[in-house]
Amino acid sequence: MRHGFSYRSASWLIDIDAPPTLPPTMRTLAVFRPDDHFPEPATPAQTLRDRLNTHLRSVGVEPPRGRVVALLSPRVAGYVFNPLSVFWCHDPDDTLACVVAEVHNTYGERHCYVVSPDEHGNAQVTKAFYVSPFNPVDGTYRLHVPPPRDNGCIDVSVTLHRTDEAPFTATLSGQARPATPRRILATQLVAPFAPLVVAARIRRHGIHLWLRRLPIRPRPTRTATPSPQGAR
């Protein structure tokens, strides 16, 4: 069984130490909350950098001392859903120290893969997190996560590999533009309420595959890290 789709959507490319703050009249279109990312319990006054550092230390990785650029979705109208967020972590000399690929599933759980890509932006990591009800927790992810280019071009892909097959591939490509008020409003015409629409599309495709009798893979028992209320 083959199933594929392509959509236009909208994500933000930000410096995690200076997340954008929109004017009050536009704030429902993008709010960046640190507790929307990383699996550790949130504490008051934590920044996104604090949460990144806490997670990296928990997996035995030295936190970066340079800039960190993230590709993610903010809260829109109070709702957030990030199927994949990517954090490019740099050393003080601006060389890439590591990449954190954070995955959220529709059960309100999250998991981070920390990788060291090669000079082409490629890395491999064993799958360790239940995402789709049609894929068990096995196989290897091949990630293509080169840093954003100087002109703002983004080219990210994730492919799940098993023996002699690649049952799942997802790609995200686009061009970053300055987040002016006019452009933010225009984006809502192209991709309105992007996080909500993305979550709805994932569920719709899941129902479609279920109706085609694609077998459901049992969800393993694990300690879930729930997302904040409203972030499913």
pLDDT of residue 222: 59
Can you list the pairs that 41-44 forms with residues at least 24 positions away whose Cβ atoms lie under 8 Å? 42/228
Compare 83 and 231 and report the one with higher pLDDT: 83
What is the Cα–Cα distance from 73 to 84, expressed in whole angstroms? 9
HEC string of 32-65?
CCHHHCCCCCCCCCCCHHHHHHHHHHHCCCCCCC
What is the Cα–Cα distance from 193 to 7, expressed in whole angstroms? 14
Enumerate the β-bridge partners of residue 13: 71
Asked if residue 168 has pLDDT above 50, the reply is: yes
pLDDT of residue 215: 93
Q: What is the pTM of this model?
A: 0.91
Q: Tell me which H or E stretch contains 122.
A: strand 122-126
- Tell me the pLDDT band of 220, cut-offs 50, 70 and 90: confident
pLDDT of residue 164: 78
Asked if residue 228 has pLDDT above 50, the reply is: no
Asked if residue 223 has pLDDT above 90, the reply is: no
Q: Is the C-alpha dihedral spanning 66, 67, 73, 76 positive or negative?
A: positive
What is the Cα–Cα distance from 105 to 215, expressed in whole angstroms? 18
Mean pLDDT, rounded, of the chain: 91
Asked if residue 227 has pLDDT above 50, the reply is: no
Enumerate the β-bridge partners of residue 30: none
Q: How many residues are there in the chain?
A: 232
What integer is the mean pLDDT of 130-155? 94
